[in-house]
Amino acid sequence: MGDLSPRFNRYEFDCPCGCGLDTVDYELLMCLEALAVDLEAEEFRPSVDVRIIMHINSGCRCKEHNKAVGGSKNSQHLICRAADFWAEVQFNGNRDTRRKISDDHIADLLEEKYPTSKGIGRYVGRTHFDTRSSRAARWDKR
């Protein structure tokens, strides 16, 4: 159990530079939780305990850290409305059964769920998702 939601802890979204920025957008958190539930439903098999584990690569970023990692001046990470992440599925509570879920599959699901809103970016090894309030943004940087 996380301290923010069933799957997430606040520290996972902290700015990595140690500046203390750790705000998390509630909508972002709920969208990521909903995605995990959708992924679990896809993987569900009778008598199999399925758990989706989400790994946050990048959540909040202060201005200095964002610049250091080459982030956009208008990055949603700066206002704590974005996460770069990857996910894996685990069966029957056994760590040995974990397998990574395709980043393309995750991005495809998000694009299907939010066809006219949100930001979804494809990167090698991770997916970007943000809760921008304006029109949808899509990009592929693989």
pLDDT, tens digit, 9 for 90 and up, residues 48-80: 788 899 999 999 999 999 999 999 999 999 999
Tell me what pLDDT residue 3 has.
87
Q: What percent of the chain has pLDDT over 90?
A: 77
**Cβ(130)–Cβ(118) under 8 Å?**
yes
Instruction: Look at residue 47 and tell me whether its pLDDT is greater than 80.
Output: no
Query: Where do we find the tokens 């998702």?
Result: 129
Backbone φ and ψ for 81, nearest 5 degrees, come out as -115, 20
Instruction: Look at residue 1 and tell me whether its pLDDT is greater than 90.
Output: no
Tell me what pLDDT residue 45 has.
72
- The Cα 49–Cα 92 span in angstroms is 4
Tell me what pLDDT residue 39 has.
93
- The Cα 128–Cα 84 span in angstroms is 4
Dihedral over alpha carbons 60, 62, 64, 66 (to 10 degrees): 30
Average pLDDT in the chain: 92
Instruction: Look at residue 136 and tell me whether its pLDDT is greater than 70.
Output: yes
Instruction: Look at residue 134 and tell me whether its pLDDT is greater than 70.
Output: yes
What does the DSSP 8-state code read for residue 52? E
Query: Where do we find the tokens 């959540």?
Result: 59
